[in-house]
Amino acid sequence: MDNSIIKLQAREILDSRGNPTVEVECTLACGVKARASVPSGASTGVHEAVELRDGDPKRFGGKGVKKAVAHVNETIAPQLIGQDARAQAGIDGMMIALDGTPNKAKLGANAILGVSLTVARAAATAADLPLYHYLGGPNAVRLPVPNMNILNGGVHARWQGADFQEFMVAPYGASSFREALEWGSEIYHALRTVLMDKGHRVGVGDEGGFAPEVSSNEEPLELIVQAIEKTGLKPGADVGIAMDPASSAFFEDGNYHLRTEKRTVSAGEMVDYYEKLIKTYPVVLLEDGLAEDDWEGWKILNARLGGIIELVGDDLFVTNVERINRGIREDVANAALIKLNQIGTLTETVAAVRMCKKAGWGAFVSHRSGETVDSFIADMTVALDTGHLKSGAPARGERVEKYNQLMRIEEELGDAACYAGKEAYVRAVRF
Ligand SMILES: C=C(OP(=O)(O)O)C(=O)O
Ligand SMILES: [Mg+2]
């Protein structure tokens, strides 16, 4: 088998929000072809690697990615032709050097990531291995808990409802991934009924969860508990709740502006609020409870709640080992969100997960609010054995494709498969 890359071809495709994104195809000398595409966030952290957009207002309001596509076809491809696709770290390193900036501003993290992922998939195909097995070896047998975002707010719901962006159900009490997904789907449908019974609208947000006009950030928790109970499952024992307020989006001038609740509060008061919610509802994970540069606030948050629940930094850490390292040193959280396109290569993403594990932290793999049907993160979650992921509601093609891929992996692993359950969370022991 000749694993050398003979062709890399990028193109502009559309993501789930109808915005352009990058897709890259890789051809190897042995004839293998693979394809990968790049997701895109809406509540992006300011410290993320640069997603290169054309800025031409006449096309997609400036959101075209023709420049990123050209960088793959004209700058990256000529350098990588002839490289062995199995040399992932070397290839990623070459692209980082070719870009030469600290945040991939020159070529674009969207260009670089498209190549990084398609090369990995081509090498796996050439080795005749499923992607999770190629990336993770014989250790890749644990299926993650799916954290399903069934109620959307914040920027993903155009600020129509809750300030908090994501309310997810985590069916950690199931005995398999398939059962967990089934529970999540039943809760999702039950929530629709609960909402309709209360006169709420049941339109959905960017990640497929319902986006009702609630009057507080607590109300969604109450509605979700009712939906869980409606299915006959036990909130806390069978199913926990994960929340991503994505608070950088409502942080301004040193305070948190809760528009839904018509009040402005300090970091300390936000922590008080979270403590109250956590005591009342079965919340096991809180992501971006405070803003991306509020390091002092995060210290308070972790000191108060880090012993009870998993505290995940998304905008705070942006899958970047330098920021995660600072977080470990300063003891501000106990987990990092893992998003490939925040950092821009597979190799750097693996390094971020490794750093979390070494510190005893959680690594919570995530999709983006703008997605494609590429299910790379499903395989990667199993390969890196991170135990939990979030991929939106158990509805909408681009979200369920990740969950469906995980069901396929579970089936393929057969008796070797195990389900992460509660142990996936750094602190879910209170239930
Ligand atoms: C998935 C998220 O949203 P986005 O992709 O818009 O950043 C998130 O904030 O965790
Ligand atoms: Mg987030």
Instruction: Note whether 304 and 378 are same-domain residues.
Output: yes
Instruction: Note whether 117 and 146 are same-domain residues.
Output: no
pLDDT of residue 411: 98
Q: Please give the Cα distance from 235 to 314 (Å, whole number).
A: 26
pLDDT of residue 423: 93
Is residue 404 included in any domain, yes or no?
Answer: yes
Q: Is the pLDDT of residue 294 over 90?
A: yes
Instruction: Note whether 78 and 32 are same-domain residues.
Output: yes
Average pLDDT (176-200) is 98
Percent of the chain whose predicted confidence (pLDDT) is above 70:
100
Q: How many residues does the chain have?
A: 431
Query: Which residues are placed with Cβ below 5 angstroms of ligand 2, an ion?
Result: 244, 246, 288, 314
pLDDT of residue 427: 79
Is residue 137 included in any domain, yes or no?
Answer: no
Q: Which atom of ligand 1 is nearest to the CA of 45?
A: 7
Type of residue found at 333:
A
Q: Is 287 annotated as belonging to a binding site?
A: yes
Last residue of a domain, one of 128, 151, 183: 128
| Residues having CB within 6 Å of any atom of ligand 1 | 41-44, 244, 246, 314, 366, 368-369
pLDDT of residue 430: 73
Instruction: Note whether 243 and 359 are same-domain residues.
Output: yes
Q: Is the pLDDT of residue 39 over 70?
A: yes
pLDDT of residue 147: 98
Output the six-digit token pair for 349. 């993403």
Instruction: Note whether 107 and 149 are same-domain residues.
Output: no
pLDDT band (50, 70, 90) for residue 431: confident
Cα 377 to Cα 38, 181, 328, 350, 368: the distances in Å are 11, 16, 25, 12, 11
Instruction: Note whether 120 and 202 are same-domain residues.
Output: no
CATH, residue 175: 3.20.20.120
CATH, residue 88: 3.30.390.10
pLDDT of residue 222: 98
Last residue of a domain, one of 66, 99, 128: 128
Is residue 270 included in any domain, yes or no?
Answer: yes
- For residue 285, the SS3 value is strand
Let me know if 207 is a catalytic residue.
Answer: yes
Is residue 133 included in any domain, yes or no?
Answer: no
pLDDT for 342-355, tens place per residue? 999 999 999 999 99
Is residue 307 included in any domain, yes or no?
Answer: yes
Task: Spot the catalytic one: 339, 348, 371, 398.
Answer: 339
Last residue of a domain, one of 128, 158, 175: 128
Output the six-digit token pair for 403. 């969950």
Q: Could you tell which of 319, 339, 371, 389 is best to mutate to test the pocket of ligand 1, judged by most ligand atoms within 8 Å of the CB?
A: 339
Percent of the chain whose predicted confidence (pLDDT) is above 90:
98
pLDDT of residue 215: 95
Is residue 431 included in any domain, yes or no?
Answer: no
pLDDT of residue 429: 63
Q: Is the pLDDT of residue 314 over 70?
A: yes
Q: Which atom of ligand 1 is nearest to the CA of 370?
A: 5
Report the DSSP beta bridge partners of residue 287: 312
Could you list the residue range(s) of the whole structural domain that residue 292 is in? Answer: 142-423
Instruction: Note whether 305 and 338 are same-domain residues.
Output: yes
Type of residue found at 79:
Q
Instruction: Note whether 258 and 399 are same-domain residues.
Output: yes
Instruction: Note whether 108 and 45 are same-domain residues.
Output: yes
pLDDT for 231-279, tens place per residue? 999 999 999 999 999 999 999 999 999 999 999 999 999 999 999 999 9
Q: Is the pLDDT of residue 428 over 90?
A: no
Q: Could you tell which of 21, 40, 43, 164 is best to mutate to test the pocket of ligand 1, judged by most ligand atoms within 8 Å of the CB?
A: 43
Is residue 247 included in any domain, yes or no?
Answer: yes
Instruction: Note whether 299 and 193 are same-domain residues.
Output: yes
Is residue 89 included in any domain, yes or no?
Answer: yes
Q: How far is the CA of 46 from the centre of ligand 1 (A)?
A: 12
Residues near 61 by beta carbon (within 8 Å), at least 6 away in sequence: none
Q: How many domains does one find in the chain?
A: 2
Instruction: Note whether 185 and 115 are same-domain residues.
Output: no
Instruction: Note whether 14 and 146 are same-domain residues.
Output: no
Let me know if 276 is a catalytic residue.
Answer: no
158 φ/ψ angles, rounded to the nearest 5 degrees: 55, 35
Average pLDDT (306-323) is 97
Between CA 110 and CA 117, with CA 114 as vertex, the angle to 5 degrees is: 135
